Amino acid sequence: MVIPLIDNNNIAMVREFRAVIGKWILVIPAGTMEKGETSTGAAKKRVAGRDWV
């Protein structure tokens, strides 16, 4: 597991709307690794282009 840190005291999180509960929630970005992809490469891909809270 890779958790994106902004600094020593803050974790980067994403605000997502969950229709099932009808609310916005904060989550740690998640995803899967492509075959042959490194964990670092996958993590960089997940955090690129996000709107951070």
Q: Domain residue spans in the chain? A: 5-47
> For residue 53, is pLDDT > 80?
no
Question: pLDDT by residue (tens digit) across 2-47?
Answer: 788 888 888 888 889 999 999 999 988 777 888 998 888 888 877 7
End-to-end CA distance of the chain: 20
Side chain identity at 41, as an amino acid letter?
A: G
* Per-residue model confidence (pLDDT) at position 51: 59
d(CA 51, CA 35): 27
- Residue 16: CB partners within 8 Å, gap ≥ 6? 24, 25, 26, 27
30: which 2 tokens?
């998640």
- 47 in Cβ contact with 29 (< 8 Å): yes
* Per-residue model confidence (pLDDT) at position 49: 62
